[in-house]
Structure 1
Amino acid sequence: MTLNVCSRWVGAVLLACGAAVAAWAATPGHTTDFPLIALTDTTPTRIELGAHLAYLEDPDRKLSQEQASGPLQTWVGMDRTSPNFGFTDKAYWFRFALDNRTDKTQQRLLELPRAFIDDVRLFHLHDSQLITKYALGDEQPFVQRVVQHQNLVMPLTLAPGVHQIYLRMASSGTIEAPLRLWEPAAFQAAAAKEHLLAGAVLGMLVVMIVYNLFIYLSTRDINYLYYIAFVASYLLFWSTLWGYTFAYVWPNEIRWNSIAVPVFIASACVAASLFADSFLKLRRFSRPLHWGVLGLAWASALLLAGSFVLPYQLIIRVNSAMILVVSVVALVCGYWRWWAGARFARFYCLSWTSVFVGVSVLTIGKFGLLPSNFWIDNASQIGVMLLVLLLSFTLADRINTDRSLRINAQAVALAHAQKARASQKALIDSTAQANRELESRVQERTNELHDALEKLQTLNAQLQRLSNTDSLTQVGNRAYFDEALQTEHKRASRQKQPLALLLLDIDHFKSINDTWGHPAGDACLRYLADFLRQKVQRAGDVLARYGGEEFVVLLINSTLGDALDVAEELRADIARLEIPIEGRNLRITASFGVASAIPASLTSTATLVADADKALYEAKHHGRNCVRAAVPRISTRQIS
């Protein structure tokens, strides 16, 4: 009853906050079919848009933006603070208007904090003209997102005046639209806090996995293995549901990302069922209950396999229902064992009560029966975190119980052993042997911890390598190039071999950004980087993004003549490229500056870069789309 009252109180507070925001944003001319939000110098840095939306159902998923905005369509004002239509096969259109009442252009970010929406399309209109169009969703590679964030984030550039925003959503799972409008700085600050919280949750789960893994290795108790499997499944489920794995682990694996959530739900159900059967000792307590729980484990295993072949819209619904069934059965079994006298089941019951409440709230919310808010969205996370902690206490409590039973048994054995000194001495010797084995096991665990620390150092080294990659083009960045240049310069100096440097710059790149937009410019840079990566494949050669629209190629053991040949070939190939941008092909050219030298005491890396940069300036000055070489600083005999 207390929990019910608290839930109602929290819901009332959230509804009151939503009503206050709606009252603040309402302006004269605000209608139910096209809500208007005023943007002034005093507008909050974050606006929850749920109460400011109008929506339109698209049962056949066939409406275009022009058709959706036509006079024949009936738009409905949103009657909830956080739109949630649950599992549905329909597409939904949302629209609202932003009135920039200042005299300057404003930048805003529209965030959809739901990573698992298949298809999201945004249309930004101003004076009936389409200004911006985005196509996002989890069915596209992560690198194609205009803002590299685990949520779907869409930048909006708002000139003074009224702007109409249309948003279309379609998905094989749930349709939720708790949209937020941010100022960029506020969004970055909030994202940093969100990542910090996610890191804390991730760290806690990893610590629990590692800790209990060591206990399992010491005790070989199968319950710890089931517990670890459950926590690991939840960790991957949570990370996937909130988009972290798609952002940082498998950004290009669209097919796998689309089925990962039901896969991890099913694996969690398998582990939870096996844990309940083993921990509660159902085989000895009740054979029918034992086989029933094992049947749930097998059914979950079949759902795990089915996640790879069955339609997502079917398997996600079945898996969501299955986790409720598993939670209920695990809870009922626990209370039954506790009622029957199994004292060790008390923490188990408390832990599954918390997860049952959390998962139930989340699942009911996914079916659209509850409004989306912090408590609803994180109900399962809160419940499972309590489950993880309490199950760890449960396992420890059972160990203590078993230990108490063993101590009592030893006391009885000692009482009988007092009748014979020989038996007492044998018991003492046995205890000494057990202590020696325990010390040996402690030493083994210490060595395993040392190995784990060495693996952690290896992972840190891998992270360092990732820091040398340019996030936009996925080639080496400036820091990577500087380090490679220093290394190859020293090597060439020792071996008296020539070292060549190609510095290339995209011609008229600013006009590309001005004409096509910065997303097109970014796409152009990525396309050129992919092309150069295919061309620069000789062992030891280095390709990097030098900065802006400039790329650099370092050629080892290459004379000036060799480098000029390579540069001319690249220049000609680039001029023939056709880069697809928004349904059209973009042609670009590039200018090259080439320098080569045999490093000696009078030459340095800065000298080589300066020579190439000077040659690049000459290429730009003499009409662009050409190759210019720096005047050699060493003799022709040395170069050749």
Structure 2
Amino acid sequence: MVLGFMRWALALCLVLSGSAGAQGSSASATFPVIAINTENVAHTDIGARIAYLQDDTRQLQVNQAMADGQPWMPVARTSPNFGFTNNAYWFRFALDNQTGKPVTRFIELPRPFLDDVRLFHFVDGRIITRYSLGDEQPFVQRVMQHQNFVMPLNLEPGRNQVALRIASTGTVEAPLRLWQPAAFYEAASKENLLAGAVFGMLLVMIVYNLFVYLSTRDANYIYYISFVASYLMFWATLNGYAFALAWPEAIRWNSVAVPFSIAWACLSASLFADNFLKLYRFSPPAHRLMQGMALVSAGLMLGSFVLPYVWIIRATSAFILVVSCAALSIGYWRWWLGARFARFYCLSWTAVFVGVSVLTASKFGWLPANFWVDNASQIGILSLVVLLSFTLADRINTDRILRINAQAVALAHAKKARASQQAMLQATADANRELENRVQARTNELHAAMDQLRLANDQLQRLSMTDSLTQVGNRAFFDQSLVTEHKRASRLKQPLALLLLDIDHFKAINDTYGHPAGDACLRALADYMRQKVQRAGDLLARYGGEEFAVLLINSTLGDALDLADEFRADIAGLEVVFEGRTLRFTASIGVASAIPDMQFTPSQFVGDADKALYEAKHGGRNCVRAAAPRLAGLTSSALPA
């Protein structure tokens, strides 16, 4: 059975290392066009709606790739996937801006481990935007600080052509997504929250089992902790979080981390299977097999520092399948022969194989791409982590049952002699007390670990509600607080006022002095407004870009206008010193006031303030405009400052 699983694993590895990519007809593909209009959804998967060109020499320049006569091919799968390849690939498509005005869209390439990514944006045959990205460049050089490759495009009205070149020593994939900016930021926030939850769960498993090991000194817990830690490193690196947060300048280490963590996982899994299944007593040949795999894993860990990435990633990817097959087949063998403690062990490794199988099927286009399919392997590994913890607990319970059964047999024999009976009863009582103490200790450790998880989740919640640049509340914090205060004001029939403040000509500041200067202006404005918004209940948030929102509790329109005029005057006199230059700017402010009820929604409230801000912008800037106060759902109109 072991050899059968190993042959299956090697065959699967050879298939995966081949070209599981996009295949098309022999005819040249037409230039795919994607319409951009006001009815566009939040994001569009465009991987299957583009054309590609294979560059065997990796020497083609953009003008050569886009020249007439090149053998462009249509993508015939859900998204382009060429597997491990030494070729470079060009992709092209057109974005037809039908809105009649310039719009901004984001192109996202959610594969952080591509070496060289270049994008060219054409209008009327001219390159107006180009980006050069890749994991061989420091993270801080990315145009957008995101774990994936995100490239903003300012689309002119009409036809905009886009060319993309991808080359990598690993797999080449291009599951491109087209985003509206607001939808992208919202999705990124949710994705980061989910990633934080996964990180927190894995960290809790490590901490909890570390405490268990310290109390039991059972080597299985050390191997389990090592496996979870290796997967945590693999997950964080593969998804780009480690490069973004842990080592943004360590380019060499970032490329080593994935094969290193895979080899580390193989080492931990081999030692865990050998020790947990007690192969040294049950089957010496199986014991020697797992020990040999552990030695090979250690060699691969060292090899990840010296061997070329294209070799070591294929070797580790193949070897983890071999280790998984061996560990699973030996586990089922032990279970079949009556080892009940192996049942959770087998279920955990089965979850991994199901996840890998689903992922493989999606790569070949047998399953549609969605959240569950794309994350099947990660779900399988997380299931493995959780179920292995249950496996360890189940083994403890099995040992306890065996001890109780042995105890009963001993008591039956002890009836022949009263002295022996008393000694056995005393031993039983001592064993029970020790067991209860250990169970109570582990329960306390679990409670402590859960408390740490709650503290970590609270910290993540606070971070998700704070704007990293200005250290004031972010858009999510504002939206959540607005809903709460809207309900409270509606219930108490109290007035609520909203100020939307936007820096005038902020783009000119960025274009003239650079984005760091613009950031300095945003921080200075946030510091000033934080000093002004001090009343209990009032809140300040960065609403987006150069726009801030101030929510005033129990304040009339007159109070809000007075504060807005004070803001406007003070900001006009505000001086920001940046690299020896003194920067000044003004701001336009829109004000809305209401005594809200359930018929007047928070979005309508924001809409009133936004309309007033729009009038301030078109009324000369550096001014305040107000919407008529809302009372019981009355409509609003702009008032002069």
Closer, same or farther: CA 394–626 of 1 in aligned 2, 3 Å? closer
1:390 aligns with 2:387: yes
| Cα distance between partner residues in 2 of 1:110 and 1:300 | 38
Shift of 1:70: 1.8
Structure 1 residue corresponding to 2:257, chosen from 260, 282, 293? 260
Report if aligned partners of 1:509, 1:521 keep a CA contact under 8 Å in 2.
no
Structure-1 residue corresponding to 2:217: 220
Match of 2:167 in 1: 170
What are the equivalent positions in structure 2 for 1:510-521 lying under 5 Å apart? 511=508, 513-514=510-511, 521=514
1: CA distance, partners of 2:409 / 2:582: 95
CA apart distance, 1:219: 3.1
Deviations 1:533-569 (A, max 9, x none): xxxxxxxxxxx9524899xxxxxxxxxxxxxxxxxxx
Q: Which of residues 125, 128, 141 is equivalent to 1:131?
A: 128
Q: 2:266–2:320: 8 Å Cα contact kept in structure 1? A: yes
CA drift of 1:54 comes to 0.9
Tell me how far 1:271 sits from its aligned partner: 1.1
TM-score for the superposition, normalised by structure 2: 0.67
SS at match of 2:427: helix
Give me the whole-angstrom Cα distance separating, in 2, the residues matched to 1:451 and 1:401.
Answer: 25
Q: Which secondary structure does the structure 1 equivalent of 2:306 belong to?
A: coil
The C-alpha deviation readout for 1:265-292, integer Å capped at 9, x for no partner, is 1111111111211222222222122111
Question: Does residue 524 of structure 2 align to residue 546 of structure 1?
Answer: yes
Per the alignment, do residues 524 and 132 of structure 1 end up closer, same or farther by CA in structure 2, a change over 3 Å counting? farther
Gaps of 5+ in 2: 1-27, 474-504, 529-567, 584-641
Conserved? CA contact 2:110–2:148, under 8 Å: yes
Q: Are the structure 2 counterparts of residues 123 and 288 from structure 1 closer, same or farther at C-alpha, using a change threshold of 3 Å? A: same
Q: Given that residues 189 and 464 in structure 2 are in contact (C-alpha distance below 8 angstroms), is that contact kept between their aligned partners in structure 1?
A: no
Shift of 1:163: 0.3
Counterpart contact for 1:141–1:252, Cα < 8 Å: yes
Counterpart among 39, 56, 60 of residue 59 in structure 1:
56
Are positions 1:337 and 2:334 aligned together?
Answer: yes
Check conservation: 1:121, 1:134, Cα contact below 8 A.
yes
Amino acid at match of 1:307: S
Which ranges in structure 1 are unaligned for 5 or more consecutive residues? 1-30, 480-507, 530-543, 551-609, 628-640
What is the DSSP-based 3-state SS (H/G/I as helix, E as strand, rest coil) of the residue aligned with 1:197?
helix
Measure the CA separation in 2 of the matches of 1:143 and 1:215.
40
* Whole-angstrom distance in 2 between the partners of 1:75 and 1:326: 41
Q: In the aligned structure 1, how far is the partner of 2:510 from the partner of 2:92?
A: 28
After superposition, residues 103-142 of structure 1 pair within 5 angstroms as 103-142=100-139
CA separation of 1:302/1:82 partners in 2, compared to 1, >3 Å: closer, same or farther? Answer: same
Note if 1:421 corresponds to 2:392.
no
Q: With structure 1 as the length reference, what TM-score do the two structures score? A: 0.67
C-alpha contact 2:106 2:152 (8 A) present in aligned 1: yes
Check whether the contact 2:208–2:446 (CA below 8 A) recurs between aligned residues. no
Distance across 2 between alignment mates of 1:327 and 1:478? 48
1:184 aligns to what?
A: 181
Aligned partner letter, 1:546: A
1:373 equivalent in alignment to 2:369:
yes
| CA distance in structure 2 between the aligned counterparts of 1:152 and 1:40, rounded to whole angstroms | 24
C-alpha separation in 2, matches of 1:111 and 1:478: 27
1:82–1:372: 8 Å Cα contact kept in structure 2? no
Distance 1:303 1:119, change over 3 A: same
> SS of 2:388's equivalent?
helix
Residue matched to 2:153: 156
> 1:462: how far off?
9.2
CA-based RMSD of the aligned residues comes to: 4.1
Shift of 1:126: 1.1
Cα deviation digits, residues 30-79 of structure 1 (max 9, x gap): x9331111112222222111221111112222222222212242211212
CA 391–377 in structure 1, closer or farther in 2 if over 3 Å, else same: same
| Residues 462 and 310 of structure 1: CA distance in aligned 2, closer, same or farther (over 3 Å) | farther
Q: 1:364 to 1:116 in 2, by over 3 A?
A: farther
Question: 2:43, 2:183 within 8 Å by CA — same for their partners in 1?
Answer: yes
Distance change in 2, residues 1:349/1:217 (3 Å): same
For 1:619 and 1:47, how far apart are their aligned partners in 2?
Answer: 42
Q: Distance in 2 between matches of 1:461 and 1:356?
A: 34
Mapping for residues 286-305 of structure 1, pairs under 5 Å:
286-305=283-302
Cα distance change of structure 1 residues 469 and 347 upon mapping to structure 2, 3 Å threshold? closer
Q: 1:614 to 1:370 in 2, by over 3 A?
A: closer
In structure 2, give the amino acid aligned to 1:122. Answer: L
SS of corresponding position for 2:305: coil
- 8 Å contact 2:48–2:78 — kept in the other structure? yes
Q: Distance in 1 between matches of 2:526 and 2:406?
A: 76
Structure 1 residues 107 and 619: CA distance shift in structure 2, 3 A: closer
**Does the 8 Å contact 1:91/1:169 carry over to 2?**
yes
Equivalent pairs counted in the alignment come to: 491
The aligned counterpart of 1:487 is none
SS in 2 for 1:139: coil
CA distance in 2, matches of 1:123, 1:419: 91
Q: Is the CA contact (8 Å cut-off) linking 1:178 and 1:372 kept in structure 2?
A: no
Shift, 1:99, TM fit? 0.7
- 2:41 matched to which residue of 1? 44
Letter in 2 for 1:79: A
Query: Sequence identity of aligned pairs in percent?
Result: 63
1:205 counterpart residue number: 202
Which residue is 1:240 aligned to? 237
Q: Which moved more, 1:125-134 or 1:312-321?
A: 125-134
Contact 2:200 2:456 (8 Å CA) reproduced = no
For 1:25-44, list aligned pairs within 5 A: 32-44=29-41
Which stretch of the first structure deviates more once superposed, 355-364 or 403-412? Answer: 355-364
Report the counterpart of residue 605 of structure 2 in structure 1: none
Closer, same or farther: CA 79–389 of 1 in aligned 2, 3 Å: same
- How many Å apart are 1:198 and its aligned residue? 2.9
1:613–1:202: structure 2 CA closer, same or farther, 3 Å change rule? closer
Deviations 1:399-421 (A, max 9, x none): 23222221111112112223333
Q: SS where residue 156 of structure 1 aligns?
A: strand
